[in-house]
Structure formats: structure tokens, C-alpha cells
Chain A
Amino acid sequence: MSDFDEAQVAVEAALAAGARYADARVMHRRYESMHARNGEIQELAQREDAGLGVRALVGDSWGFYAISDLTDIAARKAGRSAAEIAEASAIVGGRPVEFTPAAATIDSWASGCAVDPLAVPLSDKGDLLSGATKTAHAAGADLAEGIYQVWDTRKWFVSSEGHRIDQHIRECGGGIWATAIGDGETQRRSYPSHRGQYGTRGWELVTELDLGAHAERIADESRALLSAPLCPSGETTLILGGEQLALQIHESIGHAIELDRILGWEAAFAGTSWLDLTGLGTLRYGSGLLNVVIDPTVPGALGSFGYDDEGSPAVARDAVRDGIWVGVLAGRDSAAVAGLPYGGSVRADGWQSLPMVRMTNVGLEPGPHTLDEIIEATDDGILMETNRSWSIDDKRLNFQFGTEIGYEVKRGRLGRMLRNPTYTGIGPVFWGSMDMLSSEIVAYGTPNCGKGQPAQIGHTGHPAAPARFQNVRVGVRG
């Protein structure tokens, strides 16, 4: 299947209707998921959709039209309609629209995939989930759940500047959960992450997770949590596991460095950012240990691609270097407003969605330690692992996170399990207190990043490792 032609028709129609720039994406996506509960498969879901989204710039106003009809007639209508919508936008006109320059590119790209996840027999996939959840249920979990998800996406991008790019991105992953229900509360343990682990890889990713091998452990831990002592309240030394740190990066760095938020384009809904472009290159974001890279080229990570949805190639660049803020996630138009020379971070979650600034892989460079060394070096603190709740203010400063499990750390050793751990803080203060960082980097996938109106669900990746922070407020309770 190739749908360059419909995209080309849409672009030409938009130009004929008065657009000075137009681009169009035809996308075809197959999705499959299976959900198991206490050893039983609940439902097998398969979705397939295809459509065309066309973006037109008339004067300094944008229009976007998307339709699930892939015929020449529909494509022509889509291009024309996008231009007409752009003309309506001019009723409330704004700033001049410019783009950072881009070379016309003709290319193909495909993500790595050793085992096609849609070709693995359904019965094998069902056995995996039913087996793992049956084990966890038998081990004492009141609710044992498991899921896998597969996305197989083909897209064809054409622009009036001469781009002609096709991509084939295969993503998959999964996880299991054990919930213990007590008289007044519930406790849950997850493996390998609170939403599972995902990447731009084939079924080999799920095989490597070995879900069944962890089912009994998470069931045991969920029950043990019901009677574990509460996380104490106060300020302490906090060690975060890599999965929780991945979410911390996502929420308090990734979203904060999105240029559309910094420019106020998401002010009403997602919010803005505490960052101001005058601080780019000089503002201290964290301790000298903090090095954050925007890198859509990480093999197998969930935020990887060959080209973004404006046709910009995947390029790695620094976001934070030695603790100083040095880069943003940008699109070609937002970068032009800010006077920056790059885009490359614009994506849409489907043909029907307008591309917007999106995280790719935003993650840490490794530190010099191991988690064991960090624990050994800690006289009195708490280790928290696996996200349970997340909330952060509209400028991405004040956060409160809860994790599924915590452990006391006393005189360099792990102590008692702790229930309902939470911690809270302010982004740059928190990152400034990071004094130890592990080298054990894992690229955690986030398959559920919500942003935009209408809401889009983005896929992002976050290379992260355990780290230690000083003087953090923990144990916030209602």
C-alpha cells in the first residue's frame, strides 16, 4: 500500500485554493491489544484505520482538514477545505508565520523489528497473559491483570516544499499488575512499569520482559504493602528508581522544554512553562550531574522515528548540559518565532490529528554510580520505586508524585517496606539537589502522554536511571 498520490493531490488542491504552503499525511495504522484478568482473557481488540490529514497556510493563517476517505475526490476536497479553514482563521489574525528552512527530502525509514508482533499467533499471546495473571492471582492478588498492545503504523508525507517521505513504525509492549484490596484501601504492584514497558521494537521486547517470572513477586508485594508502615512525613534523602525518574523527567523537564508551551500556545489547556527563552543557554536547571538529551534516534525507544510529521529528520540535541538549560523541543514554525534554527519534534497521534510539539526521547545521560553504590552511600533516606500517581502545575514547577512502594534506607542498607510513598517539590530545586546518579540507563516508554485539544495520546521515551536527591519533602497525606 502506498498513498503518496492522495497526499500529493491534497497538497496540490490546497495550493490551488490559495495556500502558500501545504503538507499532507496519509496514515494507515493497525492496533491490537489483549487484556487478561485473573487468568481469563477479557477481550481481544483489533483496530485498523486509514485517512488523510492536510495542513494549509494561507497568508499567515493555518487550516487543517482530515478525512477517512482515501479517494482522489476526497483528497482534493480535503486540500481545498484546509485552505478555506485557513481563510476563516484570518478573522482573528495574529503574528506573521515563518518556518525554519528545510531541504526537500525524499526518503524511507523503518523502525527495527526482529519479530513482527502482529504475526505472533494470538493463542501464544493469550497464553502469555492468562498464564502470568493466573500465577499472580494464585499467589494472592485479588486482581491480577495483564495487557499487551501493538501499533503498526505506515505513513506517507508530502509537502509543497518537495518532501516525500514514507515511514513504517512498529511499536509494542505490555505489562502485568497485581492489586490487593484491603478494608480501607488498595495496593498495587506492577511489572515492569506502572503502564508496562513499550518501545519501537517487535515482539522480542515482550518476550524479553518475561512477564510470568515476575507474577508471584508482585502479588506478594501487593499483599505485603497492605500491612506495611506508612511512609513517614518530613524531609529526607530520596532515592528514586529509574522508572519513577523517567516520569519525573517526562513531567518536569520534557513538558517544560516544549516550545509551544513556552510561547503560550498551550496556555489555556496544557499550560505554559516556567521557562523563559531569555534563560536559554544560561539558566541553571539542575545540578552539574544533570545532562538531558533530546534524541529520537535511540534504537528501540518509544519516542524514536526517522522524520517528524513536518518532514524534519530525527536529530539528537542537548536539552540540559552540565545542569544548564540549552535546548527545546520545537516545530519549524515555533522555532522561527523563537529565532532558533531547528524543529524536528512535531508529531500527531494519527491522520486525524494536527501535528504539534511533542516529546521524542527525552532522557538522561548516565552517571558514575550503580544503585547499590547509591544505597551504600546513604545513611538515612527512602528509596521509592514504580509510579502510582502524578500531578504537576500548569507551569511545570510544583509536582507531587506517589510511588507504589518504598523502602527505608538506613546506614547504607535497605530496611522496611513503606506504604503509600509520596514526594513533592519544585522542579529546578529538586533537580539541583541531585547528588548521585546511576549508570544503569533504561529507555522507559510512555504510551499515554496526553496533550492538545482535541486530546492526542503521544508515545515518548525516557532513558533514565536511579538517582539520589537531598532534602526532599516526603509522606504528603490527605
Chain B
Amino acid sequence: MIEQVTRALPGAEAEVFTQHVARGLTRFANSAIHQNITTETTTVRLRVHRDGRTVALTGQDRETLIARARAALDAAPADRAWPGLTPPSALAGSGNLDEETAAATPADRAARVRDFVRAAGGLETAGYVATTVHRATYANTLGQVVSGGTTEAALDGIARTGTSDGVSRLASVRLADLDGARLGARAAVKARASAHPEVLPPGRYEVVLEPTAVADVLNCLAIFGFNGRMVAEGMSFARLGADQLDPAITLRDDPVGPGGIGLPFDAEGTPRDTLTLVDRGTVRAVLHDRQTAALTGAVSTGHYSDAGFGVLGSCLHLLGSGAGPADEVDGPEADSHVTALVRDVERGLLVTDNWYTRVLDPKTLVMTGLTRNGLWLIENGQVTRPVQNLRFTQSYPLALAPGAVLGVGTSAAGQPATRLDLGFRAPALRLASWNYTGNAAG
């Protein structure tokens, strides 16, 4: 197609990003499958720059796209921020793609749902099992040509009593890693352990965040904290070279390492590699696309996104403090990694999920949100009783500041992407303080 564009638009800088996405998703609620979906989408994105003007077009038919590009270029406004195309550069790998997962059937997913429902032992269940395969190619008029793919399999389900929900969540490159029975049992023990929660007054509490809750912290950091444009414009807390987080925190964006989920290049054709954002508490890098890199004199890290948030992380991996299995079911409330962190807490809260979190101020990254799917009081190193959901208002960087991280779980569990195709691997965290500002019941 690049040759077609060159012939039709002589002198233009052009790039073509073709992506085929096949998604299979089996949702269940009230312990029955109520939605079962397969979607196959092929899209072509053509971006062209000529005579100081840029247009980006997405469609399905190449001839139409080229014709539309020609028409739009003639009328497009001036673009003085054009950063140029990605020069020829090699990929770190072709991506983590599991062919067995790519070939998974609705029946494969339904079988895991069945196992989850059965393992919940009669509790009402809801959630999904999903498989996604991305295959993409990129080419531009400078000669950069790359291709690769990735798969993701995820199970995210709850079991419910009349007064509580318990969740289990796991994501992997391989569907084979998802054990419906194991995860269903985990959701059930958590639901039962959080039944009949008591009211707890709001205030500052020491917390142990399970990996499910840490994933939300990483999500916010990926969107707002390490966004290269927001850093450049003074809208982020992050300052390169500054010791802003606790030395226990090492955070990488890593779609290409073992188990990493994500394409090995972005829609500008820039290769992605393991990128250390925070090294033992020190901010070492932020995320860039070609435009934000040009703006700041940096190099693109391969994080172009048109999802509406600017540059965006791809697969955030907060390193654990050791090694071990990430999906135990030795409960009742927590696995051994979490229990190890709970053991040293005199009085605090064990948190399953941070939910519906929104930014109050991007620069300080003060967020508000609620707990969900299980919250327990910890007293003298023991989980003593379930408590009702609380609302918090908390700066995430301050919660991770030097001296504030009292413990990191040994193993990072894969967590499903939410709405932005952004993956996470997170351990549990023990944090000195979290500011709960109200009880969810009032």
C-alpha cells in the first residue's frame, strides 16, 4: 500500500498501520452465559504529511483511504508539530502470541465459565472469559516495515452472597493458564469471608492493596503520571531523575518480556522494548510518542495512542519482591503473598479493589474512588472482620512516596486490561497510609 500512496501522493511522507483483531468474549451473570461474542475487525490507518499538512485516516478499503487522504490534505490546516516518520529500526521481538489462544473457541471459554460457576459452590456468579488476538503490520515511506502480534486471555469473575461480592481476576498470554475452577473457588471464599460487613469510620488507615487494587494505581500512573506530554507541560508529578517514590518501587512498561501482553511496536511503527519508568523509587523515563518526544528533545518510546489520553502505557509491570505462584487459593481472604504483608500490620485495611477512580487534580494525581469486592479490617496481623465499602480521596504518588511503601508482595499477577487495551502485572502492596473520606453508605 505504501507504493500505492507514493504513486498517488508524490512527495508525501506516509505510514500505513494495518491491524486485525479477533476478540472472543463469553460473559456470564446470574451463573449463566448471557452474552457470547466473536468479533473480527480489520482496520487500516493511513497517516500522510505533505506540504506542512497532516491527515490521519482509518478505514477498511485502501483505494478509498488514499482518495480521502488526497482530498483531506488539500484542505487540512497547517501542522507545525509534525515530528516526521519513524526511521528503519529493529524490533526487540515479534510479540508474545500463543497460537492455541488465538484459536480458542466459544466452547473453550464456556468450559472455563462452567468450571468457575461450579467451583463457586452455589453462590451466584458473574463475569467473563475473554481471548483476544492482535496481528499488525506497519510500513512507511522511510522504509520502516515491522509486523507482530500478541494474545491475551483473561478471566474476571465474582461470586456473590446476599451481602458481599468476592472477585478473582487473572490475565495471561495463554488461555491455558486460566483455571476456571481455581479462580471460581477463590472468588467464593472471598465472597463468604466478606459477608455481613460492618461499618467502619473513615480516616487514614494503613492498607494492604491486593494486586487487583494495585492495577488501578498502575492504570492511573500509565495514563496521567508517566504521560510524556503531561510531564513536559507541567501537568504531572513526575520529574526525571527525582527520587519521588519509595525505593521498593520498580515499575516497567514491558509488553515484550516474558508474559508481556501488547504489540511490540506502536501505530507509528516505533519498536517497544522493556522500559524502566521507575527504578527503586527514582523516575527514570516517561512515555513518549514521536510528537511528545520531539517536543521535549527525547526519543519516542513507542507509546503512541489515539485513545484520547495522549501517550499511553502498554503493559505496566510493578516488580514483586521475589518469586512465587500468583493465583493461590489458600484463603480464606488472601493468598500467601498477601497474608505475609498482612502479618506485620497492627491496624489497617485489606483492600481488594479500588473502583470508579477519577482524577481530582492531575498534577498531584489526587484521586477519588471507592473500595469494592471485599474490604477487611486487619488487627494485630490478622484479618479480623469484613467492613463496608469506603470512599477515598488520595494522592497516588504520595501513597507510594519514599518511606510510605512498607512491603511489596513476592509475585506480580497478570491483571486484565480494562477499556484501553492496557495490561498490568502487579504484586500486592503494603502502604503506610490511605485517606478514606467517607463511608459508602453515607
Which residues of A approach B to under 8 Å, CB–CB? 34, 40-51, 61-69, 81, 84-86, 88-95, 121-123, 126-127, 130, 142-143, 179, 181, 184-186, 263-269, 352, 354, 388-394, 397-398, 400, 402, 420, 422, 424, 426, 429, 450, 453-455, 473, 476-478
Chain A CB within 8 A of B3 CB: no
Q: How large is the interface on B (under 10, 10 to 19, 20 to 34, 35 or more residues)?
A: 35 or more
In the complex, which residues of chain B have a beta carbon less than 8 angstroms from the beta carbon of A62?
33-36
Give the dominant DSSP class at B's interface: strand
**7 smallest beta-carbon distances between A and B, as pairs:** A94-B32, A126-B77, A88-B106, A455-B419, A478-B393, A268-B126, A41-B77
A35 to chain B, nearest CB (A): 10
Would you call B29 and A264 a contact (CB within 8 A)?
A: yes
B29 to chain A, nearest CB (A): 5
Interface string of B368-390 (1 = CB under 8 A from A): 11101000000000000000010
19 CB-based A-B contacts, threshold 8 Å: A40-B80, A40-B81, A41-B76, A45-B57, A46-B55, A46-B72, A69-B40, A85-B38, A92-B28, A95-B30, A267-B160, A389-B368, A390-B358, A391-B370, A400-B438, A402-B368, A422-B360, A478-B394, A478-B435
Chain A CB within 8 A of B68 CB: yes
Q: With A40-B81, A389-B358, A454-B23 known to touch, is A88 a contact of B110 (CB < 8 Å)?
A: yes
Would you call B110 and A92 a contact (CB within 8 A)?
A: yes
Considering the complex, give the chain B residue whose CB is closest to the CB of A32.
Answer: B72
A185 to chain B, nearest CB (A): 5
In the complex, which residues of chain A have a beta carbon less than 8 angstroms from the beta carbon of B60?
48-50, 68
In the complex, which residues of chain B have a beta carbon less than 8 angstroms from the beta carbon of A185?
361, 363-364
Give the residue of A122, A398, A450 whose beta carbon is less than 8 angstroms from that of B75: A122
Give the residue of A44, A420, A429 whose beta carbon is less than 8 angstroms from that of B360: A420
Would you call B437 and A476 a contact (CB within 8 A)?
A: yes
A46 to chain B, nearest CB (A): 5
Considering the complex, give the chain A residue whose CB is closest to the CB of B74.
Answer: A122
Question: In the bound complex, how far is the Cα of B107 from the Cα of A90, in angstroms?
Answer: 9
Question: In the bound complex, how far is the Cα of B78 from the Cα of A139, in angstroms?
Answer: 23
Would you call B58 and A398 a contact (CB within 8 A)?
A: no
Of listed A42, A43, A352, A424, residue having the most chain B CB within 10 A: A43
Would you call A264 and B56 a contact (CB within 8 A)?
A: no
Would you call B306 and A45 a contact (CB within 8 A)?
A: yes
Would you call B394 and A122 a contact (CB within 8 A)?
A: no
Give the residue of B32, B165, B442 whose beta carbon is less than 8 angstroms from that of A95: B32
Would you call A352 and B362 a contact (CB within 8 A)?
A: no
Give the residue of B38, B111, B130, B366 whose beta carbon is less than 8 angstroms from that of A478: B366
Would you call A268 and B158 a contact (CB within 8 A)?
A: yes
Would you call B362 and A48 a contact (CB within 8 A)?
A: no
In the complex, which residues of chain B have a beta carbon less than 8 angstroms from the beta carbon of A130?
77
A389 to chain B, nearest CB (A): 4
- Besides A49-B60, A65-B39, A267-B158, 20 other CB < 8 A contacts? A40-B79, A46-B55, A47-B59, A69-B40, A85-B36, A88-B106, A92-B110, A92-B113, A94-B30, A95-B30, A95-B32, A186-B361, A186-B363, A265-B34, A268-B128, A268-B157, A391-B368, A394-B372, A420-B361, A455-B419
In the complex, which residues of chain B have a beta carbon less than 8 angstroms from the beta carbon of A88?
26, 36, 105-107, 109-110
Interface string of B424-442 (1 = CB under 8 A from A): 0000000000010110111
Q: With A92-B117, A391-B357 known to touch, is A181 a contact of B234 (CB < 8 Å)?
A: yes
B367 to chain A, nearest CB (A): 8
Question: In the bound complex, how far is the Cα of B118 from the Cα of A228, in angstroms?
Answer: 58
Give the residue of B30, B38, B40, B158 whose beta carbon is less than 8 angstroms from that of A265: B30
In the complex, which residues of chain A have a beta carbon less than 8 angstroms from the beta carbon of B370?
391, 393-394, 398
Give the residue of A91, A393, A454, A477 whose beta carbon is less than 8 angstroms from that of B25: A454
Of listed B29, B43, B235, B362, residue having the most chain A CB within 10 A: B29
Give the residue of A64, A393, A453 whose beta carbon is less than 8 angstroms from that of B356: A393
A146 to chain B, nearest CB (A): 12
Chain A CB within 8 A of B284 CB: no
Of listed A130, A265, A453, residue having the most chain B CB within 10 A: A453
Question: In the bound complex, how far is the Cα of B75 from the Cα of A41, in angstroms?
Answer: 13
Give the residue of B36, B41, B105, B372 whose beta carbon is less than 8 angstroms from that of A352: B41
Chain A CB within 8 A of B252 CB: no
Interface string of B44-77 (1 = CB under 8 A from A): 0000000000111111100010001000100111
